[in-house]
């Protein structure tokens, strides 16, 4: 795992501006184990996120690409870093397992110039004490996929872990075929997950659960007052962030694909971009993941699954919520019901903006439900339906789908609803244009970019896609093809976990 030749300090002139303070290593030792990134033959920088580096207070520009690549693949460990792998458990497809960072190493927590604390984590940097039989490695294609989709999510205004860099390792990893290896540097508000709490809770280690709960409060919810009710407030706050997040996913047609409890971050950031994908054609039961046979993580199932995961989180907190277990369960159950209400409310508020409606009125839920029924019947493209509604509102003739009788009837209903609040065309369009992305990372474009990069070493399609998704509410006139759905007759898109 660790090699004696590993350089343990950053040589002079190799410091891009590290400012580490590793609070996680001050938690009880049950929660993590020290780990060292493995040696790679020839690390090579594939992509670096300069604006994100600047936000982190890091400047790699004075360093050579070789030094940057060796820093961002863990070949040189900065003096104040303290690399660890975190322990966690998780319900994976409903079954409980003890896990941990099997292919990720937390380099340390960077304090940013704005005063934020951000985890810098290598993904794919080799085995850790939690790797079980895995090799701890990641392939270039999936790491570039996480890079582009996480950055697209951020640009869409959806809380997400970020991607600082992808470094190709220069060696091959063994999957069904040999694939180029890579390390992604992931940046996160933290890597605290529902599964992090399940890890000590499964051992019935109450002092560790308490330490973790108070750590999470201090790190993510400093506004919560200390006191006996703080853990109930923690549950409520985590539920509220998830309610908002899942609504945001649904509003852009995002399917996370692997909402195991170890992949739900307590910070409210989207985390773990394995088998995720965006809907092209709308269908509520859409699943992309090759292993999600039962549709557990289907598009429309995401709110219910989030609530199920939050119930697992609440279970870990029960002893902290009330001395009387029955009362603790009642208190937790109330919060979980509140999650469902709040999630629906965030969704409906977002749908109103997507439809150019400035006020809330009775019947809005039915209006939105009816739209999705019509979209499903017409096999309409999720993203472009809203853009076409904008265009029709602005005076364009409706396209084929929107001319279908059911769609035409729904549009009359929508116009009547707009009339009922006295909406102007300009007012509605302003709301819609700010809410409806013109560009999402469409599956066929993501695949095209990854094919170019991994098979042909051609990063141009990847960088074009990054440029297109970086400003999703504008359509770059130079990049009109990113609005197009996949060609008719394309195969059903499939995604894979842990590749
Ligand atoms: P995921 O499906 O990516 O959320 O991963 C589930 C668990 O499997 C996590 O604990 C990972 O660390 C672990 N894992 C995934 N791929 C590997 C790998 N190649 N080597 C070791 N552990 C892995
Ligand atoms: Mg995971």
- Would you say the CB of residue 329 lies under 6 angstroms from ligand 1? no
| Structural domain contains residue 381 | no
CA–CA gap between residue 299 and residue 372 (Å, rounded): 13
Q: How far is the CA of 294 from the centre of ligand 1 (A)?
A: 21
From the alpha carbon of 101, which atom of ligand 1 is closest? 12
267 shares its domain with 301: yes
93, 98, 99, 103: residue to mutate for ligand 1 pocket, most atoms within 8 A of CB: 103
Strands 95-98 and 89-92: antiparallel
Ligand nearest to the CA of 128: 1
Neighbour tally for 45: CB within 10 Å: 20
- Would you say the CB of residue 312 lies under 6 angstroms from ligand 1? no
| Structural domain contains residue 369 | no
82 shares its domain with 29: yes
* pTM higher than 0.85: yes
**21 is a catalytic site residue:** no
| Structural domain contains residue 414 | no
76 shares its domain with 100: yes
- Would you say the CB of residue 205 lies under 6 angstroms from ligand 1? no
41 shares its domain with 110: yes
Nearest CA to ligand 1 atom 16: 498
32 shares its domain with 171: yes
| Structural domain contains residue 412 | no
- Would you say the CB of residue 154 lies under 6 angstroms from ligand 1? no
180 shares its domain with 41: yes
The residue segments making up the domain with residue 62 are 5-191
| Structural domain contains residue 485 | no
206 shares its domain with 136: no
166 shares its domain with 273: no
| Structural domain contains residue 499 | no
Number of domains forming the structure of the chain: 2
170 shares its domain with 225: no
- Would you say the CB of residue 497 lies under 6 angstroms from ligand 1? yes
Nearest CA to ligand 1 atom 6: 498
184 shares its domain with 286: no
> Domain boundary residue among 136, 167, 191?
191
Please return the burial class of 12, using the count of CB atoms within 10 Å of its CB with bins 0-12, 13-18 and 19+: exposed
Q: What is the pLDDT along the chain (499 residues), one digit of tens a residue?
A: 334 344 444 555 689 999 999 999 999 999 999 999 999 999 999 999 999 999 999 999 999 999 999 999 999 999 999 999 999 999 999 999 999 999 999 999 999 999 999 999 999 999 999 999 999 999 999 999 999 999 999 999 999 999 999 999 999 999 999 999 999 999 999 999 999 999 999 999 999 999 999 999 999 999 999 999 999 999 999 999 999 999 999 999 999 999 999 999 999 999 999 999 999 999 999 999 999 999 999 999 999 999 999 999 999 999 999 999 999 999 999 999 999 999 999 999 999 999 999 999 999 999 999 999 999 999 999 999 999 999 999 999 999 999 999 999 999 999 999 999 999 999 999 999 999 999 999 999 999 999 989 887 899 999 999 999 999 999 778 788 999 999 887 777 888 876 5
> Domain boundary residue among 314, 335, 352?
352
Is 123:103 a contact under the CB 8 Å cutoff? yes
Helices (H), 156-298: 194-202, 206-220, 230-252
- Would you say the CB of residue 274 lies under 6 angstroms from ligand 1? yes
180 shares its domain with 221: no
CA–CA gap between residue 154 and residue 29 (Å, rounded): 33
10 shares its domain with 128: yes
| Structural domain contains residue 458 | no
**Residues near 175 by beta carbon (within 8 Å), at least 6 away in sequence:** 139, 499
Nearest CA to ligand 1 atom 2: 498
Q: At 18, give phi and psi (nearest 5°).
A: -55, 140
| Structural domain contains residue 224 | yes
> Domain boundary residue among 298, 325, 352?
352
* Tally of residues, the chain: 499
């Amino acid at each position: 795992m660790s090699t004696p030749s590993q350089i343990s300090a950053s040589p002079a002139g190799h410091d891009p501006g590290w400012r580490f303070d590793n609070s996680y290593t001050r938690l009880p030792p049950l929660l993590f184990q020290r780990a060292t990134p493995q040696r790679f033959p020839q690390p090579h920088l594939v992509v670096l996120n300069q604006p994100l580096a600047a936000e982190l207070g890091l400047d790699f520009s004075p360093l050579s690409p070789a030094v940057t690549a060796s820093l961002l693949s863990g070949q040189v460990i900065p003096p104040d870093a303290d690399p660890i792998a975190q322990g966690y458990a998780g319900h994976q497809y409903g079954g409980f397992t003890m896990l941990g960072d099997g292919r990720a190493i937390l380099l340390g927590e960077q304090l940013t110039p704005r005063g934020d604390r951000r985890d810098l984590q290598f993904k794919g940097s080799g085995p850790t004490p939690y790797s079980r039989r895995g090799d701890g490695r990641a392939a270039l294609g999936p790491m570039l996929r996480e890079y582009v989709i996480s950055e697209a999510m951020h640009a869409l205004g959806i809380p997400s872990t970020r991607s600082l860099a992808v470094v190709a390792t220069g060696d091959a990893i063994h999957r069904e075929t040999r694939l180029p290896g890579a390390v992604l540097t992931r940046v996160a508000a933290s890597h605290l997950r529902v599964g992090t709490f399940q890890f000590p809770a499964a051992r019935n280690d109450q002092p560790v659960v308490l330490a973790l709960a108070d750590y999470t409060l201090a790190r993510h919810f400093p506004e919560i007052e200390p006191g006996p009710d703080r853990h109930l407030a923690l549950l409520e706050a985590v539920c509220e962030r998830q309610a908002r997040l899942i609504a945001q996913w649904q509003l852009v047609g995002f399917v996370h694909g692997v909402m195991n409890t170890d992949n739900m971050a307590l910070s409210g950031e989207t985390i773990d971009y394995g088998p995720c994908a965006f809907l092209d054609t709308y269908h509520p039961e859409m699943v992309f993941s090759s292993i999600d046979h039962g549709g557990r993580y289907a598009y429309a199932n995401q709110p219910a699954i989030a609530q199920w995961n939050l119930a697992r989180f609440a279970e870990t907190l029960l002893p902290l919520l009330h001395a009387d277990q029955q009362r603790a369960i009642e208190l937790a159950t109330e919060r979980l019901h509140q999650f469902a209400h709040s999630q629906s409310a965030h969704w409906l508020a977002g749908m109103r903006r997507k439809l150019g409606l400035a006020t809330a009125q009775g019947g809005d839920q039915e209006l939105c439900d009816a739209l999705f029924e019509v979209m499903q019947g017409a096999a309409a493209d999720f993203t472009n339906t809203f853009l076409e509604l904008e265009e029709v509102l602005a005076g364009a003739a409706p396209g084929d789908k929107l001319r279908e009788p059911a769609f035409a009837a729904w549009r009359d209903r929508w116009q009547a609803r707009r009339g009922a609040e006295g909406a102007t065309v300009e007012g509605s369009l302003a709301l819609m244009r700010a809410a409806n992305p013109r560009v999402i990372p469409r599956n066929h474009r993501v695949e095209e970019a990854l094919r170019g990069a991994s098979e042909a070493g051609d990063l141009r399609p990847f960088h074009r896609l990054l440029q297109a998704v970086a400003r999703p509410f504008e359509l770059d006139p130079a990049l009109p093809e990113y609005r197009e759905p996949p060609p008719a007759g394309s195969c059903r898109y499939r995604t894979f976990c842990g590749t």
